[in-house]
């Protein structure tokens, strides 16, 4: 849809660059401008429609027949082609077959079996960090905790897997538009990752009983197409690593800046864990957006967006929508926003969300037993990524 067409429907274009470093550092002022513009907004530089209000995003997530993922969820053809055959970029009926394969390993029942082991790892790491007195939440905590768990569960061969973390961040940069510098610089990482998965993560080389082996076995049985094996392995390992690291950083940052909330949490972590995690996810969505393609016209309060349009669902904006959440910029662990958008929703809800929440909750529980307060000791730096919201570093002291 062109800007003039939208203007003819009394919806002015919004000259906002969602991939500018200033925006990536703090997207929330722009998100408010987009929400206030109307039920849909148009970005003329990208010639793309965006949904920034909670109600509209929730509707899109719940109506995959109109808002399709089958043509890709990125803003460029390169990544959309690479993700072909993954859960995130497939609609029913094939989506159901892919989901069934992953559910063998990531359903709540299966993830609960990992609780004791992951909590023990969290206890050991937190003991070491608290004894030091100060540490970096990202490099000393999240990096040491998340990748080893993911790699062990997936069962990738050790050689080459050390690149997974760097690839994970870069793949989310490839999500951006074609003319974006971060996108262009990240393309080699995408190529290297897919080459490694294809050549080094064959059925013979992955760990028996791991997630990767389950995917290979499903292809052998004919449950999924052979060409889905590599993108499906990528589609689980990459989001499961980078976004969980981002969530850990956001949780500690929010609690450090809201010591009253940490004190409340420490008084009853078992009861407050779920609402606290939900509030962190609402405040700082690890994935800020994904795209959809309209399969039929979409009427947004009289503004018609035509079929074939690519539409951005701004999860980070919807989670701060004052039309749905009262005082949305305030961090309140008693809010209990279980309807947040951070994991998407509908049939495309994040399959790894239960594992991510188990990892983060295990760390928070261990910290709550030992730490009365956090103090940020130096200015943290954010990782300016086209899709995700995370910290590059977050130095803290614990007391």
CATH number at residue 389: 1.10.630.10
How would you label 1-40 residue by residue, b for 16+ Cβ within 10 Å and e otherwise?
A: bebeebeeeebebbebebbeeebbeebeebbbebbebbbb
Tokens 């109109």 — which residue? 66
What pLDDT band is residue 11 in, cutting at 50, 70 and 90? low
Structure tokens, 219: 């292809």
Q: Over the stretch 82-112, which tens digit does the pLDDT of each residue have? A: 988 889 999 999 999 999 998 888 889 999 9
Structure tokens, 190: 């995408």
Domain membership of residue 247 as a residue range: 3-398
Res 8 pLDDT > 80? no
What is d(CA 99, CA 87) in angstroms, rounded to the nearest whole number? 7
How many domains does the chain divide into?
1
Res 61 pLDDT > 60? yes
- Would you say 39 and 12 are in contact if contact means Cβ atoms under 8 Å apart? no
């Amino acid at each position: 849809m062109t800007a003039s067409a939208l203007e003819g429907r009394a919806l002015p274009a919004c000259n906002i660059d969602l991939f500018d470093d200033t925006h990536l550092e703090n997207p929330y002022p722009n998100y408010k401008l987009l929400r206030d513009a109307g039920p849909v907004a148009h970005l003329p530089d990208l010639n793309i429609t965006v949904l920034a209000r909670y109600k509209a995003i929730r509707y899109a997530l719940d109506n995959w027949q109109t808002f399709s993922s089958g043509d890709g969820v990125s803003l460029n053809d390169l990544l959309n082609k690479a993700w072909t055959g993954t859960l995130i970029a497939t609609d029913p009926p094939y989506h159901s077959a892919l989901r069934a394969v992953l559910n063998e390993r990531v359903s709540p029942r299966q993830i609960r079996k990992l609780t004791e082991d992951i909590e023990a790892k969290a206890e050991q790491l937190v003991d070491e960090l608290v004894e030091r007195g100060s540490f970096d939440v990202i490099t000393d905590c999240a990096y040491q905790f998340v990748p080893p768990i993911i790699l062990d569960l997936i069962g990738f061969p050790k050689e080459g897997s050390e690149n997974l973390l760097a690839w994970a961040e870069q793949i989310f940069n490839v999500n951006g538009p074609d003319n974006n510098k971060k996108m262009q610089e990240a393309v080699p990482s995408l190529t290297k990752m897919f080459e490694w998965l294809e050549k080094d993560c064959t059925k013979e080389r992955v760990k028996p009983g791991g997630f990767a082996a389950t995917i290979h076995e499903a292809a052998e049985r004919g449950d999924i197409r052979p060409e889905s094996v590599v993108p499906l392995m990528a589609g689980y390992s990459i989001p499961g690593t980078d976004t969980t690291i981002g969530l850990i950083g956001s949780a500690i940052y929010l609690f450090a800046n809201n010591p009253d909330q940490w004190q409340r949490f420490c008084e009853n972590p078992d009861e407050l864990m779920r609402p606290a995690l939900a509030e962190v996810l609402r405040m700082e969505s690890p994935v800020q957006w994904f795209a959809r393609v309209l399969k039929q016209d979409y009427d947004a309060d009289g503004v018609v967006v035509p079929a074939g349009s690519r539409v951005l669902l701004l999860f980070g904006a919807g989670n701060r929508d004052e039309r749905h959440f009262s005082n949305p910029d305030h961090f309140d662990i008693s809010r209990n926003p279980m309807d947040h958008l951070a994991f998407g929703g509908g049939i495309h809800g994040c399959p790894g969300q239960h594992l991510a929440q188990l990892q983060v909750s295990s760390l928070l529980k261990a910290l709550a037993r030992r730490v009365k307060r956090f103090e940020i000791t130096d200015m943290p730096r954010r990782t300016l990524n086209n899709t995700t919201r995370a910290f590059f570093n977050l130095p803290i002291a614990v007391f």
